[in-house]
A and B are shown apart, each in its own frame.
Chain A
Amino acid sequence: MMKTDKGMSIIVKTVTRISVWLIILYGIYIIVHGHLTPGGGFGGGVVIALAFLNVMLAYGKEFTEKWLNFQLLHDIESSSVTVFLVVGILGISLGGAFLANFLSKGDLFELYSAGVIPVFNILIGIKVGISLFLVVWLLAGINPEEEDE
């Protein structure tokens, strides 16, 4: 595990290649069904962050930096907060109050229901997933031996 720069054995890499997409799918399921089943944006976001972390532990930091565009991830993560605020301000004009639920409520237990709650769930999921992974990625860049000098 500590040789994160070179990656782990071929067994771990093969299992990761298959399982990481299932983990990401599960995270997306938890986020999208946040208003119907237990979970929501925060839990699903942590699942997605753990999936990316799985890739980073198995394949190493250098491969992950080639695989993912970290500048783009940082931009998405920052803009999701802005979109959250924009949806909240839209509530002033369309719903009468900040962060008001201005979309139609729909039928209970349907996927397209509950107004803006699924939108907020998706935004929080993006935000939590990417930002937790970015923090771990930045902390993994520190070499403990260099710190002591």
Chain B
Amino acid sequence: MPIETWLTFILVFMILGSIISLEIKDILSSIIAIGVVGLGVSLSFLFLQAPDLAIVQFLFEIFALIILIRAFIKKDYHVEEPRIVNKILIGITVITLCAVFLLSIKLFELLPPFGEPLMKTAQYYIDNGVEQTGAANFVSAIILDYRAYDTLGEITILFTSVLGVFTILRIKSKVKKVTAGDDDEN
């Protein structure tokens, strides 16, 4: 079977999972249905022969699932009653999306066929990468040698996010302590 068939199958699976996660009433089932989307992305990376991305995507899905369950399972959510305005908005969105899709059909015809990208930079890396970097895993050679600036930026983002979480949560706890102290004095 060609790879496009498998990818279409996985895509339909992912769309079904996201629709279920939106519509289902139980919050735990909804979080697990979100996990289906990540699993589909991971599987499609495997079919496209990118095991590095598949590993990271799969692990991060587990991570996100744990965080989501920890964050949301205790809270109670009120069920939103369906209103007429919402239905009108959904109709307008569907009509707009269909119009955009119909108007851009000519653009889709211009796209190159599957597996033949327009960019020819990758061919240079494949031809010269092994001699220039000496790394057997090619993805590693690209993200840490040719594109090391990108990795530096990624690390900086992680660093900044940890700093941000530290700062925000510390401010909150200090405020709590101050208010608690005031209550004791009164």
Contact = CB atoms under 8 A, between A and B. Distances in A.
B59 A47 contact: yes
B172 to A, nearest CB: 8
Given A81-B155, A124-B155, A36 B136 contact: yes
Interface in B32-60: 51-52, 55-56, 59-60
B13 to A, nearest CB: 24
Contacts, number: 131
Contact of B130 (A50, A77, A108): A108
A40 interface: yes
A109 B62 CA distance: 31
Interface string B146-170: 0011011001101101100110010
Contacts of A131: 158-159, 161-162
Interface residues of A, number: 55
Given A40-B52, A127-B158, A131-B158, A121 B67 contact: no
Nearest to B170: A138
B152 A113 contact: no
Contact of A50 (B59, B74, B75, B149): B59
Interface string B131-145: 001111101110111
A58 interface: no
Contact of A35 (B136, B149, B166): B136
A65 B121 CA distance: 48
B73 interface: yes
A40 B159 CA distance: 19
Nearest to B74: A144
A108 B51 contact: no
In the complex, which range does the number of interface residues on chain B fall in?
Answer: 35 or more
B144 A127 contact: no
Interface string B102-143: 000000000000000000000000000010011111011101
Contact of B74 (A2, A36, A109): A2
Interface of B: 51-52, 55-56, 59-60, 62-63, 66-67, 69-71, 73-75, 130, 133-137, 139-141, 143-145, 148-149, 151-152, 155-156, 158-159, 161-162, 165-166, 169, 176
Interface of A: 1-2, 4, 30, 34-40, 42-43, 46-47, 49-50, 53, 57, 74, 77-78, 81, 84-85, 88, 99, 101, 105-106, 108-109, 113-117, 120-121, 124, 127-128, 131-132, 134-136, 138-142, 144-146
11 contacts: A35-B140, A35-B144, A40-B143, A43-B59, A47-B59, A84-B152, A105-B133, A105-B134, A113-B134, A124-B151, A139-B70
